[in-house]
Amino acid sequence: MTSIPLEYYLVVAAVIFVIGACGFLARRNALIVLMSIELMLNAVNLTLVAFNRWYASHHVGQMFTFFIIAVAAAEAAVGLAIVVALFRLKRTVRTDSVDLLKN
């Protein structure tokens, strides 16, 4: 399992991260914004695992990825709860129609 260079993984991770960042900035559906955050977290995880495979004498990168997955699960749960509460209040999940703190 040594025929793919490290750079390929980093490029794939960078592409996924940029796609996720564009989705986070450009989309107006709160659910898709949350999914874009998950994409970015996954890209970072891939980078960490690839670098840990490069420095294979320890497992710190994989351990860090494990914790990031746990934090991402908590983040998704809280974010979706906020979306549900928002939908109860405004009957929409569009982020540009949420202006409770304006005015």
Partner 1 sequence: MINAIVEQGLFYVSALLAVAGALGTVASKSAIRSAMSLLATIVGIAGLYLTLSAQLLAAIQILVYAGAIVVLFVFVIMLLGGQVQPNQDKRTSSSRAIGAGLFALSAILAAVLVARAGLGGPHLFDPPRIEFGSVSELGRVMFTDGVIAFELIGVLLTTAIVGVMAVARTRHAKTNAKSKEVGP
Binding site for partner 1 (CB under 8 A): 1-9, 12, 15-16, 18-20, 22-23, 25-29, 31-32, 34-36, 38-39, 42, 45-46, 49-50, 52-54, 56, 58-60, 62-63, 65-67, 69-78, 80-85, 87-88, 92-94, 96
d(CA 41, CA 20): 9
Token duo for residue 101 = 């703190």
Between residues 3 and 103, which has the closer beta carbon with respect to partner 1?
Answer: 3
Give the shortest CB-84-to-partner 1 separation in angstroms: 5
Which helix (H) or strand (E) covers residue 7, if one does?
helix 6-26
Instruction: Report the distance separating Cα 23 and Cα 16, nearest Å.
Output: 11
